[in-house]
Structure 1
């Protein structure tokens, strides 16, 4: 059973870590709603990343404002909202968390080796994020003690089970 005040779960990590697959499975298990933060990127951000150029913070701030607004909007529409978002830096997580109490919004990092993630990215077709940006994402990733870390070296269903267990005991 989830903590009673938990309203939002952010599934975070680098591109190729499985945020969309795990997030959608988690939301289904919790009878909540899942949305992928990538769907809220403006076209200019997607074009920049498609060209192999990492986003800078000026590119990200409006996107994070949109994602935060979506978190607030979904609070009235579903018992639990699961959002996939890279959220690599603490300042990005602060933008998503805003004024929420730690029991209301939790971050779950899908954690894996560079080799495993690179293999997944190489097999992915039609995504705007090229595998060449993996190194910049890994260099940006700055986990903090408040996030729940889950290894991606298991099946999506096992990952979801581990997330639920860790959320119940956090």
Structure 2
């Protein structure tokens, strides 16, 4: 892509265990967008807090979200489209992400808490303990009508979620979109 503002930036959002990484990888493969895992942008201190089961505060999150916005902005300047995974639980967090590139679209993976708990119970090798799921659910603010995004049912297969997201990004109606 050339640096003529044709780059696009997508955040796959949702609580821990919703399938963000799997779906984002699939979208990246289908679109050629550059992938980044937001967890890789966390400070060692934030990771240690989460490993101890301590929810992050907004003060903990601001530098992390700013780093993500800056990464997308730098990629935008280079004309490179991106896809990142980020919980993006609150509107204010999504607002920070939007301070980087000219526009950001959100793919929100949403579904029942019991399905997510089941997924977390079998997940290994991740610093985010399932004990923090309820704090994330309590924090989650759905996309507002003025936010560019789509909400997808995480009970669908990863392949169907990727197909729905790519269709939405292409202007199709593959899912229930938030205007």
Which residue in 1 is equivalent to 2:164?
Answer: 162
Structure 1 residues not aligned, in runs of 5+ = none
Distance 1:78 1:9 in 2: 14
Moved over 6 A (4+): none
Higher relative contact order (CA 8 A, sep 6+): 1
Offset at 1:44? 0.3
Q: Give the TM-score of the pair, scaled to structure 2.
A: 0.87
Structure 2 residues not aligned, in runs of 5+ = 173-178
Q: How does 1:13-162 map to 2 (within 5 A)?
A: 13-77=14-78, 79-98=80-99, 100-101=101-102, 104-143=103-142, 144-145=144-145, 146=147, 147-162=149-164
Q: How many residues align?
A: 165
Distance 2:23 2:7 in 1: 18
Distance 1:21 1:100 in 2: 24
The two structures, once aligned, show a CA RMSD in angstroms of 1.7
Conserved? CA contact 1:27–1:80, under 8 Å = no
Offset at 1:77? 4.4
